[in-house]
C-alpha cells in the first residue's frame, strides 16, 4: 500500500496540506486501482503464454480503459 506519508509528500509539493483521512482515502483508492491494473496485466500475460507482465500489458490497460 502507498503510505500516507508518500501521499502527503505528493500533495505538499503543490504547496497545500492534506488531512490524514484524505491521505488514507487516496491511498486506498490508488491501491484498489493498482490491483485492477495488475490483475488485467497478469491475465493478458497468461493469455499470451508469458510468465512475466510487460510494460505493454500496463499500457494496454490504460488504452483500453482510458485510465
pLDDT reading at 53 higher than 80: yes
Confidence of residue 1 (pLDDT cuts 50, 70, 90): confident
Alpha-carbon 29 to chain mean position: 8
Stated pTM of the model: 0.82
Q: Are 65 and 48 in contact (CB under 8 A)?
A: no
pLDDT reading at 67 higher than 90: no
Please give the domain boundaries of the chain with CATH numbers for all domains.
4-65 (1.10.20.10)
Confidence of residue 33 (pLDDT cuts 50, 70, 90): very high
Distance in angstroms (rounded) separating the CA atoms of residues 15 and 23: 15
Amino acid at each position: 500500500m502507498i503510505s500516507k506519508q508518500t501521499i502527503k509528500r505528493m500533495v505538499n509539493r503543490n504547496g497545500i496540506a492534506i488531512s490524514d483521512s484524505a491521505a488514507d482515502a487516496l491511498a486506498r483508492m490508488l491501491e484498489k486501482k493498482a490491483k485492477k491494473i495488475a490483475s488485467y496485466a497478469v491475465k493478458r500475460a497468461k493469455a499470451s503464454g508469458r510468465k512475466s507482465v510487460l510494460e505493454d500489458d500496463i499500457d494496454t490497460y490504460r488504452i483500453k480503459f482510458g485510465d
